[in-house]
């Protein structure tokens, strides 16, 4: 299994949203990526985490999907938001997203 890091374009924190001050993160996928059997089409996304669920909103089409996520803490802050994928059978599968400006990494079942 080979991990392929994809630097998220324009991937800085946007700020706070809502009463719980949940942060939203923007990133761009250059290729269609599988997340738990659902495909995220190539495009621009906004990501927001609500408990153990991650909501991906395609800002080009305004469509969204929700996927289960495991939240982990890293030893140091991530400078940029980075999307890590694993390529299997010719398709990208989302493994992890490191959230820029935080110590938070999101892990997906792939």
pLDDT 10s digits, 83-110: 999 998 889 999 999 999 999 999 998 5
Residue pair 23/14 in contact (Cβ under 8 Å)? The answer is yes
Alpha carbon distance 31, 9 (integer Å): 13
Q: Which residues contact 47 (CB under 8 A, 6 or more apart)?
A: 24, 25, 26, 27, 54, 55, 56, 57, 97
State the average pLDDT over residues 58-80.
Answer: 95
**Dihedral, CA of residue 19, residue 72, residue 26 and residue 63, to nearest 10:** -80
What pTM value is reported for the model?
Answer: 0.76
pLDDT band at residue 15 under the 50/70/90 scheme = very low
Mean pLDDT of the chain: 82
* CB of 68 closer than 8 Å to CB of 103: no
- Percent pLDDT > 70 in the chain is 79
């Amino acid at each position: 299994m080979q991990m392929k890091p994809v630097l998220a374009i324009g991937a800085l924190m946007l700020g706070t949203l809502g009463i719980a001050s949940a942060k939203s993160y923007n990133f761009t996928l250059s290729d269609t990526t599988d997340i738990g059997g659902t495909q995220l089409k190539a495009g621009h996304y906004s990501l927001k985490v609500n408990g153990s669920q991650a909501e991906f909103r395609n800002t080009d089409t305004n469509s969204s999907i929700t996927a289960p996520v495991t939240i982990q803490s890293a030893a140091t802050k991530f400078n940029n938001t980075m999307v890590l994928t694993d390529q299997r059978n010719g398709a990208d599968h989302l493994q992890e997203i490191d959230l820029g400006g935080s110590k938070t990494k999101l892990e997906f079942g792939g």
